[in-house]
Amino acid sequence: MLEFDNVSKSFWTGTQRKVILERVSFRVELGNSLGILAPNGTGKTTLINMMAGLEKPDEGVIRRDCRISFPLGFMGGVVNKQNAVENSRYIARLYGLDPDYVEAFCRWLCNLGEYFEQPLGTYSSGMRSRFTFALMLALDFDIYLIDEGMPSSTDVDFNKKAGDVLRERLRTTTIVIVSHQPQVLEKFARSAAVLLNGKLYMFDTLEEAKQLYDYQTQG
């Protein structure tokens, strides 16, 4: 379970205080994947980082009693001077997993060819996001955190395999996915919420959430 209890978060922009969350409470139960709709600039990444423990709330309590992933695309723990082989094996040991398995899984999913032996610092942004996404899926978490969906890639094979793996994981794990695009959430979310003006509105279905989101963003 992941729970926010009366959580507040804001930033000072230099001219005004930008409120991300204002006394927000909600719970993510294992087995009930959650999609959160949020317009650009409302704090999607901050919310995901708070779930992962990368950012602390100003007020309130965040409870985690399960294994929660790092956010998709987060490069913490990955060393640019090392290649994908070294990085995947290091992260595997860090999480107590078989380095051979994690390396083989990332090789299969990334489809980077000879670049898998090259330093991450030489990668394009697309290659880096493919590797970190593969690394996240190779690890064993109860809740996977995804900001804006799968990384943008022109590699059709990667997109298909990554989507298949993610859908398979839904059978045994939980996904929290945050996006400004409702269609990104449709394949993965069972329940949904809308983040607007520091408030999080929870709904049983994505269709209900889309009605509020469309009204607020298009009306």
Cα(174)–Cα(190) distance, integer angstroms: 10
Q: Give the pLDDT band (50/70/90) at residue 75.
A: low
Question: What confidence score (pLDDT) does residue 51 get?
Answer: 96
pLDDT digits (tens, 9 = 90+) for 148-206: 755 555 567 888 888 888 778 778 889 999 998 888 888 778 899 999 999 999 999 99
Mean pLDDT of the chain: 89
pTM above 0.85, yes or no: no
Q: What pLDDT score was predicted for residue 16? A: 87
pLDDT at 178: 92
